[in-house]
């Protein structure tokens, strides 16, 4: 007879496994929930105002006007003899510009100019508040930070976004309570322009853009950190 033991006979002499005690945190488990004053509101502007204060948008309008003035906005040249005149923007007009951008992002039309096309002599409501030419001007000269001639450090390429980045992070964390179990993951911000800080990731929904480390829960981005991908 063979002296080889079967798998079951080999397991029999082993001691019984210890009793598993699940880990207990300091606080009881809970689900993610919004805790800001705008939680549950159906007013889009109230939700928008939670993250972007009116005073902050006023500062963005000021920086946009400064940037436009420093680049000679509205001044005709040999290359652009028929350029449209530039008028300084204000907080209310910049809010209209943001509303149009949000509307266009939700609708997803191939060409932005198509949104200003009249259908049965009717123009879409957001586009009634601003012409296409003015929309293009604000896209061209919109500036978040105060214009500066100083070079940007490579390790902080997002410095020009800091005015919005840090404040939006603070309000995002202030108005939301994470669930008990969360994890840090990577996310991509789609960008097809010229930049040395974008990376390509094949077989991903967003194949090219900026890489961000983020904490998300219940379709909500709670916190994030912009990363540097270029080699020194």
- pLDDT tens digits, residue range 195-214? 888 888 888 888 888 889 99
Nearest-angstrom CA–CA distance, 112 and 132 = 9
Instruction: Tell which residue, 190, 188, 104, 187, has the closest CA to residue 139.
Output: 104
- Percent over 70 (pLDDT), the chain: 91
- Percent over 90 (pLDDT), the chain: 26
Check pLDDT > 80 for residue 12: no
DSSP state, residue 7: H
Residue 34 burial (CB count, 10 A) = 16
DSSP state, residue 114: G
Q: Give me Rg for the CA atoms of the chain.
A: 26
pLDDT digits (tens, 9 = 90+) for 17-73: 788 887 777 777 888 888 887 777 778 888 888 889 999 999 999 999 999 998 888
Residues in CB range of 82: below 8 A, 6 or more apart: 76
Expressed in percent and rounded to 5, the helix, strand and coil fractions of the chain are 40, 15, 50
- pLDDT the model gives residue 78: 47
Task: Name the more confident of 98 and 163.
Answer: 98
Give the residue carrying structure tokens 């100019």.
113
> E strand or H helix at 194, and its extent?
none
């Amino acid at each position: 007879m063979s002296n080889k033991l079967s798998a079951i006979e080999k397991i029999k002499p082993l001691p019984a496994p210890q009793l598993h005690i699940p880990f207990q945190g300091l606080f009881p488990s809970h689900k993610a929930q919004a805790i800001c004053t705008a939680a549950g509101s159906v007013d889009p502007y109230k939700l928008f105002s939670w993250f972007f204060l009116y005073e902050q948008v006023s500062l963005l309008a000021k920086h946009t006007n400064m940037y436009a003035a420093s680049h000679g906005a509205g001044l005709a040249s040999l290359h652009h003899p028929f350029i449209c005149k530039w008028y300084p923007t204000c907080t209310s007009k910049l809010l209209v510009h943001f509303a149009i951008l949000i509307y266009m992002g939700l609708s997803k039309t191939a060409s932005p100019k198509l949104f200003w096309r009249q259908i049965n002599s009717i123009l879409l409501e957001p586009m009634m508040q601003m012409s296409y030419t003015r929309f293009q001007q604000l896209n061209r000269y919109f500036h978040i930070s105060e214009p500066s001639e100083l070079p940007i450090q490579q390790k902080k390429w997002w410095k020009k976004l800091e005015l919005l980045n840090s404040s939006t992070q603070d309000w995002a964390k202030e108005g939301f309570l994470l669930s008990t179990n969360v994890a840090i993951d990577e996310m991509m911000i789609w960008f097809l322009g010229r930049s040395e800080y974008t990376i390509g990731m094949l077989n991903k929904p967003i194949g090219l853009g900026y890489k961000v480390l983020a904490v998300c829960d219940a379709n909500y981005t709670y916190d994030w950190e912009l990363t540097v991908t270029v080699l020194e």
